[in-house]
Structure 1
Amino acid sequence: MHVLSWHLSEARITFVGPAVHAIEVMGDKIASRKLALSAGLPVVPGHDEALADVDDALNQASVIGYPVMLKASAGGGGKGMRIAMDEASCREGFERARSEAQSSFGDNRIFVEKFIAEPRHIEIQVLADQHGHCIHLNERECSIQRRHQKVIEEAPSPFLDHASRQAMGEQALALVRAVDYCSAGTVEFIVEPSGDFYFLEMNTRLQVEHPVTEYITGLDLVEWMLRIAAGESLTLSQKDIGISGWSMEARLYAEDPSRGFLPSTGRLSRYQPPSAGRHVRVDSGVDEGDEIGIYYDPLLAKLITYGDSRNEAIARMRTALDQFRIDGVVTNRLALAALFEHERFLTGSLSTGFIDQTFPDGFGALVPSNEVRRRMVGLAAVLHHRLERRAVVNDIVSPGRWEYSVRLDDSREQVEVLETRQGYEVLLGDELVVIKTGWWPPQPVVAFEIDGAEFFAQFDCHEMGYRMQHGSILSVAAGVTDACRCPARQDAD
């Protein structure tokens, strides 16, 4: 990016972003680490020069103490990084990291620092104008990652208290002043479980996750980038920046979580995002019919939600994921749903190792809770009943209860369905619930209510029955058979 900025400057064209010097220094992890040290920021213990060769890597690693992290100085996006637990993995990791750095960035410089176990990844959004004014816009937590790349971001962090937030913000602004930064940027930190934090890097651009900051501050960061580039002064002071509500962002990728998040390719035969509104935002760069190839990042869309509380933002995210229909490529949508359902995530107990620790066997065989399972069984019976009744042209028999045998994956349940003016009374064992829905085929997303609570699911006819998706659960064998009409139930005298 610094090359583009330089050429624009030479042509006297305004670049919407920081100066060339800031991009160059912050884009080099070794140089940025040295500058952070000189500005008084805490940095991860490590070696501040590029490693000469594998022997140098082994020597420095032994001084720092294993485990260590080998990192590309020009790196980003999780590339050119290797964790070394001992000499053997350090030797192999150095060669692999250097090779990947050269192929990805054209720069094979590698440095080494202490590997921090169970860290959180928390970043501070900053704004600085051309007149020496700078502010921070509080933090975003980006700890949920796979392959060192962010998957879920939220603001604020469930971990930080006011004092920690202020301390990190002040350190971020110290770096902004040290590099004479201008425009929007992000200073990233690694945070230990103890609360100690260390400078990681600075991103000299508007990041993918900026909408969560916009939601909780009410500021338009793109607008401020344009105003700053035009020479305007910040009209905001630090005391003007507060936190209102909570926001979540999920990145929808064309990738297969059951195969180690390998990229997925194909044509988007269906691309139906949820309706955007005050509490739901969709930033997307693709449309139905587009070809998803191997030459670009597999990110399809960013799904952002907002609520008065963290729980409300999560609930809206889960609903929006249920509404987001993508066919033609494998995506991480169900894996995202599983993350937002997990008890550890709900309690805010996060770290960069969350996915590997919480789902060590991957996302291939998720088990639904009893509540979700019953919800799917009841819905399958009702949708099947609607399809069956729709197919009957002249049903001269009076309405009554209908009994269905619903097979969800490897088990069967008997379900009774009774049409009423209020919807469908569904008997699941000893539990009676009322389900309402206006669904008709070929709608791919079903809106339904159970006892007044609104839900969404994805539903298709399948050669083995029905294909249903709700939350993190995919059932490719929701068979509904053995329908029979039962006598109407009589109320007791």
Structure 2
Amino acid sequence: MYPLQLRNVARFVRSSSARSLLPPNRSSTVLHIPLRAFSLYFNDRYDTKEPLFDKVLIANRGEIACRIIKTCKALGIKTVAVHSDIDSLSMHVQMADEAICIGTAQTADSYLRWERIIQACRDTGAQAVHPGYGFLSENTEFAAHLEKEKIAFVGPNSYAINALGDKIHSKELAVKAKVSTIPGYKGEVKDADHCVQLARDIGYPVMIKASAGGGGKGMRIARNDAETRDGYRLSQQEAKSSFGDDRMLIEKYIEEPRHIEIQLIGDKHGSAVYLNERECSIQRRNQKVIEEAPSPFVDPDLRRRMGEQAVSLAKAVGYDSAGTIEFLVDKHKNFYFLEMNTRLQVEHPITESITGVDIVYHMLRSAKGYPLRFKQSDIGITGWSFEARVYAEDPFKAFGLPSVGRLKVYKEPQNEAVGAVPSDGYVRCDTGISEGSEISLYYDPMICKLITVGRDRQHALNLLADSLDKYVIRGVTHNIPLLRDIVTEERFVKGDVNTAYLPTVYPEGFQGKKLTCEEKNLLGAVAGCIFLKDRLRDRRFLNSVQGSEHSYDESTHNLHVKGSGFEEAVVVNYEPKAGVFQVQIGGQKFTVSDTINLADNVVTVDVNGQKHILQLVNKSPVGKIDLQYMGSVFPLHVFREDVFKFLHLMPALKVADTSRQVLAPMPGLVKSIAVQIGSMVSEGMEVCVIEAMKMQNSLTAAVTGKVKKINFKPGETVGEQDVIVEIE
């Protein structure tokens, strides 16, 4: 048994070692997190005189633990955080009143150990447990043991979890309730051979998924027997690692539907209300990327029919907390029950934003036994909301392979127009990290949920694009380039989406923002101005040191800019009295404002009377300037004319041939090696499996040959681009 370590967070934060880790001007006794977002729940008024719980333990980590703690603090409820050893300085630990270490970094030895969490409740006197999402949130055994201990589970009762949280049982229940369901096998898949047999009976393509799964983990699409065997094996391993339950099911895969879900909440008195729908069709590897509420596809009649069906199914099992019923909807607005998530969803903030209901608050009320404070007619739709999931992952690799590292610079977009109701528009960031935090390979790589709310869909979308432009992340690879490109892509702007959106819009994978000639010239013009301003600043500094009154050269400067796919001559003339640069590049003329602060990460410049938001990602003394524009980073190089004429003498860089090496595409843990030294491998054959952020990734050989060397063993960790296997 890993020893339970209880400590008082306030006492820890007062220690000298902890103070050294806090940012400047931060309180040395407690870390205060602003609760501004809670004034935006316009349909909710907290009844602080209504007795709830004195102390709640949050059996989770990261952003969702922080989100739950915020509501508890607003209600005056004390909180207990549980954490693994490497999470000891995490934000959720700092925010809570108390914290307990429950194990090592491996989830199977910490966040999945329900007996340690129950012991933590005993040690701290916590009266209730909120499980968040993932981990133990849909674990029937955990909920049942809490009931025996007379500790409130802030979620549905154990019977409801078993009936609806389990995909196999929920589908059987839905069939009995005459809910439209997807064709498939009604029971548990026994093994890989059984899976192949069932897939043939159902007809390809099929979806293989974990019975206890969620969040896209433990799910694979298969289109033939070989993919079915691999999908069953990898999904089962993921399910065991993520949920401690490796039971699998199989059903027909409906191609190109919309993924629309209904949020509902019930109480212990037989009442249930649906809080409208969310559109969650933008996905990669069955994990959501961008969600919105309401859906641009759903009309009032479809919303009512889906909502009533969801409530009816929930009432059939006495569902008494927040939950989400997911549907697949075809182009004719036929909908099919997919599954129910018997927990708080990742994307719950966008529902809160358009309904004005604090879902966490009502989960706490329901767990205490209070009836719902509203009825169905009280729930409307105000404004429009988007959520973009900002992840530490590389969007140029399969739309997002995980990345790890430390956040060297981290600046969230600020709320610039916060009003009492969403019609004024606002920005909300739900996160569990801060500058200096480390994204580790053991947990989900989510950095933040960026939520925007506008008076209508386009307003909310404009706010999202603007917020992504201002979001500064350095130290880890992130998916903002993909998110930013999606929010201005023609099909997405029109609301013409389905679950095949990403591979359809980006058939060759995401390649970054495609600039027009005018946009390339604009970037070249700004880069030329940055280059010149840097030189002029250096000249001012030298003049001030030397005591010289000689003014710097204000004449025309001839430069050259090289970038991805273009090379242009640039003429830059600086007019200090007017505060502008006059630039000529590629046959275009630009007037660029002299508002570029070379010390800032985010640069806002006025170009020909129009404001543009860029990020100065990198700047070197030799003229290399990396600019982030519309989400993507563009490496540019600015040369003086006398230097540029000698560039043709420089030898071209040789590209290394890595086809005979199996490289780790991301940091991770080697789960298995399928070959031995001397083994023959063929192109496309599986060589090893890497686990990263609880996802199983099969690596294959790119060529046919004999295995020359194996550099890692199962159980060892690898870094990105590490050579795992070498082939002769």
What amino acid sits opposite 1:215 in the alignment? S
2:415 to 251, 276, 291: 276
Q: Which residue of 2 aligns with 1:109?
A: 247
Q: Is residue 436 of structure 1 aligned with residue 593 of structure 2?
A: yes
Q: Is residue 255 of structure 1 aligned with residue 393 of structure 2?
A: yes
Q: Is residue 291 of structure 1 aligned with residue 429 of structure 2?
A: no
2:551 to 396, 414, 421: 396
Deviations 1:183-242 (A, max 9, x none): 221111111222211111111222111111122122222222223333332232222222
What amino acid sits opposite 1:347 in the alignment? K
TM-score by length of 1: 0.91
Structure 1 position 68, deviation (Å): 1.6
Please give the alpha-carbon distance, in whole angstroms, between the structure 2 residues aligned to 1:428 and 1:293: 44
- CA gap 1:372/1:24 in 2 versus in 1, 3 angstroms: farther
Please give the alpha-carbon distance, in whole angstroms, between the structure 1 residues aligned to 2:440 and 2:240: 23
What amino acid sits opposite 1:301 in the alignment? C
Equivalent residues of 2:468, 2:631 under 8 A apart: no
- Correspondence list, 1:111-260, <5 A: 111-260=249-398
What amino acid sits opposite 2:462 in the alignment? A
Please give the alpha-carbon distance, in whole angstroms, between the structure 2 residues aligned to 1:202 and 1:142: 14
Structure 1 position 365, deviation (Å): 5.0
Please give the alpha-carbon distance, in whole angstroms, between the structure 2 residues aligned to 1:225 and 1:89: 41
What amino acid sits opposite 1:256 in the alignment? D
Equivalent residues of 1:439, 1:447 under 8 A apart: yes
What amino acid sits opposite 1:274 in the alignment? P
Please give the alpha-carbon distance, in whole angstroms, between the structure 2 residues aligned to 1:266 and 1:258: 18
Please give the alpha-carbon distance, in whole angstroms, between the structure 2 residues aligned to 1:5 and 1:452: 60
Q: Is residue 384 of structure 1 aligned with residue 531 of structure 2?
A: yes
Q: Which residue of 2 aligns with 1:360?
A: 507
Deviations 1:311-347 (A, max 9, x none): 2222211111111111111111112112223222222
Structure 1 position 303, deviation (Å): 0.8
Equivalent residues of 1:368, 1:473 under 8 A apart: no
Q: Which residue of 2 aligns with 1:491?
A: none
- CA gap 1:264/1:54 in 2 versus in 1, 3 angstroms: closer
Please give the alpha-carbon distance, in whole angstroms, between the structure 2 residues aligned to 1:395 and 1:173: 78
Q: Which residue of 2 aligns with 1:481?
A: 640
- CA gap 1:471/1:401 in 2 versus in 1, 3 angstroms: same
Q: Which residue of 2 aligns with 1:337?
A: 484
Q: Is residue 25 of structure 1 aligned with residue 182 of structure 2?
A: no
Please give the alpha-carbon distance, in whole angstroms, between the structure 2 residues aligned to 1:480 and 1:139: 54
Equivalent residues of 1:126, 1:134 under 8 A apart: yes
3-state SS in 1 of match to 2:159: helix
2:619 to 461, 465, 468: 461
Structure 1 position 58, deviation (Å): 3.6
Structure 1 position 64, deviation (Å): 2.2
- CA gap 1:399/1:417 in 2 versus in 1, 3 angstroms: closer
Please give the alpha-carbon distance, in whole angstroms, between the structure 2 residues aligned to 1:315 and 1:358: 21
Please give the alpha-carbon distance, in whole angstroms, between the structure 2 residues aligned to 1:215 and 1:237: 18
Please give the alpha-carbon distance, in whole angstroms, between the structure 2 residues aligned to 1:437 and 1:156: 42
Please give the alpha-carbon distance, in whole angstroms, between the structure 2 residues aligned to 1:111 and 1:307: 40
- Aligned-residue Cα RMSD (Å) equals 2.5
Q: Which residue of 2 aligns with 1:489?
A: none
Q: Which residue of 2 aligns with 1:488?
A: none
Deviations 1:272-327 (A, max 9, x none): 11113421111111121122211111111111112222222222111111111111
Q: Which residue of 2 aligns with 1:487?
A: none
1:9 to 147, 152, 157: 147
Structure 1 position 366, deviation (Å): 4.0
Equivalent residues of 2:531, 2:623 under 8 A apart: no
What amino acid sits opposite 1:368 in the alignment? L
Please give the alpha-carbon distance, in whole angstroms, between the structure 2 residues aligned to 1:424 and 1:220: 50
Equivalent residues of 1:415, 1:429 under 8 A apart: no
Aligned residues: 484
Please give the alpha-carbon distance, in whole angstroms, between the structure 1 residues aligned to 2:593 and 2:343: 47
- Comparing 86-95 with 125-134, greater Cα deviation is found at 86-95
Equivalent residues of 1:367, 1:473 under 8 A apart: no
Please give the alpha-carbon distance, in whole angstroms, between the structure 1 residues aligned to 2:406 and 2:553: 47
Please give the alpha-carbon distance, in whole angstroms, between the structure 2 residues aligned to 1:397 and 1:85: 68
- Comparing 459-468 with 23-32, greater Cα deviation is found at 459-468
Structure 1 position 148, deviation (Å): 0.8
Equivalent residues of 1:123, 1:141 under 8 A apart: yes
Structure 1 position 418, deviation (Å): 4.2
Equivalent residues of 1:276, 1:282 under 8 A apart: no
- Correspondence list, 1:61-76, <5 A: 61-76=199-214
Q: Which residue of 2 aligns with 1:302?
A: 449
Please give the alpha-carbon distance, in whole angstroms, between the structure 2 residues aligned to 1:438 and 1:375: 16
1:407 to 540, 544, 562: 562
- CA gap 1:98/1:399 in 2 versus in 1, 3 angstroms: closer
3-state SS in 1 of match to 2:217: coil
2:224 to 73, 79, 86: 86
Equivalent residues of 1:381, 1:417 under 8 A apart: no
Structure 1 position 362, deviation (Å): 2.4
3-state SS in 2 of match to 1:144: strand
Q: Is residue 447 of structure 1 aligned with residue 604 of structure 2?
A: yes
3-state SS in 2 of match to 1:367: coil
3-state SS in 1 of match to 2:325: strand
What amino acid sits opposite 2:560 in the alignment? S
Equivalent residues of 2:481, 2:512 under 8 A apart: no
Please give the alpha-carbon distance, in whole angstroms, between the structure 1 residues aligned to 2:456 and 2:557: 42
3-state SS in 2 of match to 1:126: strand
Deviations 1:419-474 (A, max 9, x none): 35364444445544443353323211112233444332111203551011111331
Structure 1 position 137, deviation (Å): 1.2
- CA gap 1:369/1:109 in 2 versus in 1, 3 angstroms: same
Please give the alpha-carbon distance, in whole angstroms, between the structure 2 residues aligned to 1:437 and 1:143: 43
Structure 1 position 254, deviation (Å): 1.1
Deviations 1:344-372 (A, max 9, x none): 22221212222222223223454213343
Q: Which residue of 1 aligns with 2:678?
A: none
What amino acid sits opposite 2:624 in the alignment? G
Q: Is residue 324 of structure 1 aligned with residue 471 of structure 2?
A: yes
Please give the alpha-carbon distance, in whole angstroms, between the structure 1 residues aligned to 2:379 and 2:555: 61
Please give the alpha-carbon distance, in whole angstroms, between the structure 1 residues aligned to 2:601 and 2:262: 40
Please give the alpha-carbon distance, in whole angstroms, between the structure 2 residues aligned to 1:283 and 1:409: 35
- CA gap 1:50/1:428 in 2 versus in 1, 3 angstroms: same
3-state SS in 1 of match to 2:208: strand
3-state SS in 1 of match to 2:212: coil
Please give the alpha-carbon distance, in whole angstroms, between the structure 2 residues aligned to 1:410 and 1:63: 51
What amino acid sits opposite 1:466 in the alignment? I
3-state SS in 2 of match to 1:378: helix
Structure 1 position 150, deviation (Å): 0.8
Q: Which residue of 2 aligns with 1:490?
A: none
What amino acid sits opposite 2:632 in the alignment? I
